[in-house]
A and B are shown apart, each in its own frame.
Chain A
Amino acid sequence: MRRRREECVKSNPLQAIGHGVLALFGAIGRLALFAFEATSHCVRPPLYPRLLLRQMVEIGFYSLPVVGLTGLFAGMVLALQSYTGFSRFSAESTIPTVVVLSITRELGPVLAGLMVAGRVGAAMAAEIGTMRVTEQIDALTTLSTNPHKYLIVPRLLGGFLMLPFLVLVADIIGVLGGYLVSVYKLGFNADTYITNTFEYLETMDVVSGLVKAAVFGYLIALMGCYHGFHSKGGAQGVGKATTNAVVTGAILVLIFNYIITEAFFAQ
């Protein structure tokens, strides 16, 4: 039957387009139902505080080195690049403001989100996918435990709560990176740099970054869990789920970055 459908699709391009569109809407529908069910379980007992704590440590604490390094080098490069451009217009004094706004509004949340999508999203998809293909998720059901509550909710909440924390750390380290390059390489005055950094920084700049981080954390965890939960076909299926989790997580981070930026700063 499947072969017949594939032959039909090959012979008729219009049918191929229709088939693709239907498949896309089907996938979006399945993802929406999964997200709704998982999210609804976040507010219905029982919850598993021990598992939530474990996920918070796994997502928040163990991602600190990679997110910190990313923030540091992003801040350093930003200061260098800004200096190269702005010195042509004698506007070097704006570099601290450019660095802090770029880091808190955009680079901190986006780079941390992409790093966490690669590290945590992949790990979630691989772990849950392996549990799926080795019948561990079926075993949970037979032991009167809801797999959504036990596996998905702690990861969703962990991502939602810990990514803002990681982004705050990335913001601080990123600004520090810009400071180090500006003061020790480009010859800025340290006091003036710090004063300029905070002079034009508004609370909303930091808050918008943290809101983005919370949304990114939720989406990355959702993609990791969704692809892992629906993986099939043994090791190959788990590998495919892991790749899909990282790719879709990263793409959603970029899409929602634009949507949230538009919502905060469009007016």
Chain B
Amino acid sequence: MSAPSSARAAHGANEPKIALRGLRKRFAGQVVLDGLDLEIGSGESVVVIGCSGVGKSVMLKCLLGLLHPDAGSVTIDGEELAGNRAAREAAMRRIGMLFQNSALFDSLPVWENVAFGLIQAQGMARREARDIAIETLAQVGLAEDSADLYPAALSGGMRKRVGLARAIATRPEIIFFDEPTTGLDPIMADVINDLIVACTRELGATTLTITHDMTSARKIADRIAMIHDGTIIWQGPAGEIDESGNAHVEQFINGRADGPIRLAVAADGRA
């Protein structure tokens, strides 16, 4: 048994699937994450909400290893990823990711975008990978004739669906969603939310979503956590967010300008 699988085997049933502990990150003297703690259980869907610029994306990038935290621990199945390149690369094979603007590869047709992880990471034959890509596209409501289109020819909603198909094509255990409904009309946003729920339930995946869209958060989440000033200031079941008793959360979910959250305002009045 390899070292990573030994670590997974030793991983206790009560241990969280994903754990961020004491995560700190600063840029040019500005503290973005200030000892952030978050745990996600196996099969759980957690949504992290928060205002723009509070560090949601930085948290996700630290989790993915795209940014190196200044301090703190990032574990998946009990295995430390921060500063451990081999463990991070191994963990990445079990992770799917939907980026905010889909981040589709412009130079590849839709089917190759979806099959990218199968071909490059798993070494699957192109023909077999294409068949799986077309099945996955059907799963997110896209017809076979869209498989040979290039991303430039797709609408925003279609790009998001292709991004979702790419995230689930390798049947990952863990999926991250970065602002999955940003830039979409309310109907398309609801379609994407439904697809996320359906696909992740079918896979039984553990998911972490970051968003500031409360409709999306209520629909996707088992548990919601709110990030502010670099830490999680409240977390609880999605159904209890309206009775959180936290002034920051109440201000955020009701979209009020008045409250404890003060947005940084420039001298000329710009937010």
Please give the residue numbers on chain A whose beta carbons come within 8 Å of chain B beta carbons, in ascending order. Answer: 1-2, 127, 130-131, 134-136, 138-139, 141-145, 150
Which A residue's beta carbon lies closest to that of B121? Answer: A144
B128 is an interface residue with CB less than 8 A from chain A: no
**A-B contacts, CB under 8 A, total:** 53
Which B residue's beta carbon lies closest to that of A48? Answer: B120
Give a binary string over B86-97; 1 marks a CB under 8 Å from any A CB, 0 the rest: 000100110111
Q: How far is the CB of B263 from chain A (nearest CB, A)?
A: 22
What are 10 A-B contacts defined by CB distance under 8 Å?
Answer: A131-B105, A139-B99, A141-B65, A141-B92, A142-B66, A142-B92, A142-B97, A143-B117, A144-B93, A145-B120
Q: A134-B101, A139-B99, A139-B103 known; A145 and B121 CB under 8 Å?
A: yes
Q: Which B residues touch A142, using CB under 8 A?
A: 64, 66, 92, 95-97
B28 is an interface residue with CB less than 8 A from chain A: yes
Chain A binding surface, main DSSP class: helix
In the assembled complex, the Cα of A134 lies from the Cα of B103 at a distance in Å of 6
- Check B117 against A135 for contact (C-beta < 8 Å): no
Q: Which B residues touch A1, using CB under 8 A?
A: 28-29
Q: Which A residues touch B120, using CB under 8 A?
A: 143-145, 150
In the assembled complex, the Cα of A211 lies from the Cα of B95 at a distance in Å of 45
Q: How far is the CB of A133 from chain B (nearest CB, A)?
A: 10
Q: Which A residues touch B28, using CB under 8 A?
A: 1-2
In the assembled complex, the Cα of A150 lies from the Cα of B112 at a distance in Å of 15
Q: Which A residues touch B93, using CB under 8 A?
A: 144
Q: A2-B28, A145-B120, A145-B121 known; A139 and B95 CB under 8 Å?
A: no
In the assembled complex, the Cα of A138 lies from the Cα of B61 at a distance in Å of 9
B244 is an interface residue with CB less than 8 A from chain A: no
B106 is an interface residue with CB less than 8 A from chain A: yes
Partner of A135, one of B29, B99, B107, B116: B99
- Check B92 against A139 for contact (C-beta < 8 Å): no
Q: Which A residues touch B166, using CB under 8 A?
A: 143
In the assembled complex, the Cα of A1 lies from the Cα of B121 at a distance in Å of 43
B100 is an interface residue with CB less than 8 A from chain A: yes
Which A residue's beta carbon lies closest to that of B169? Answer: A143
Q: A1-B29, A138-B66 known; A143 and B99 CB under 8 Å?
A: no
In the assembled complex, the Cα of A136 lies from the Cα of B99 at a distance in Å of 9
Q: Which B residues touch A130, using CB under 8 A?
A: 106
- Check A135 against B92 for contact (C-beta < 8 Å): no
In the assembled complex, the Cα of A135 lies from the Cα of B101 at a distance in Å of 8
Which A residue's beta carbon lies closest to that of B90? Answer: A144
- Check B105 against A136 for contact (C-beta < 8 Å): yes
Q: Which B residues touch A145, using CB under 8 A?
A: 116, 120-121
In the assembled complex, the Cα of A136 lies from the Cα of B113 at a distance in Å of 11
In the assembled complex, the Cα of A160 lies from the Cα of B95 at a distance in Å of 36
- Check B64 against A141 for contact (C-beta < 8 Å): yes
Which A residue's beta carbon lies closest to that of B64? Answer: A142
Q: Which A residues touch B106, using CB under 8 A?
A: 130-131, 136
Q: Which A residues touch B66, using CB under 8 A?
A: 138, 141-142
Q: Which A residues touch B96, using CB under 8 A?
A: 142
Q: Which A residues touch B100, using CB under 8 A?
A: 135
In the assembled complex, the Cα of A141 lies from the Cα of B96 at a distance in Å of 11
Which of A2, A141, A143 has the largest count of B CB atoms less than 10 A from its CB?
Answer: A143
- Check B105 against A139 for contact (C-beta < 8 Å): yes
In the complex, which residues 102-155 of chain B have their Cβ closer than 8 Å to any Cβ of chain A? 103-107, 116-117, 120-121
Which B residue's beta carbon lies closest to that of A127? Answer: B107
Which A residue's beta carbon lies closest to that of B116? Answer: A143
In the complex, which residues 17-47 of chain B have their Cβ closer than 8 Å to any Cβ of chain A? 28-29
Q: How far is the CB of A120 from chain B (nearest CB, A)?
A: 16
Which A residue's beta carbon lies closest to that of B118? Answer: A143
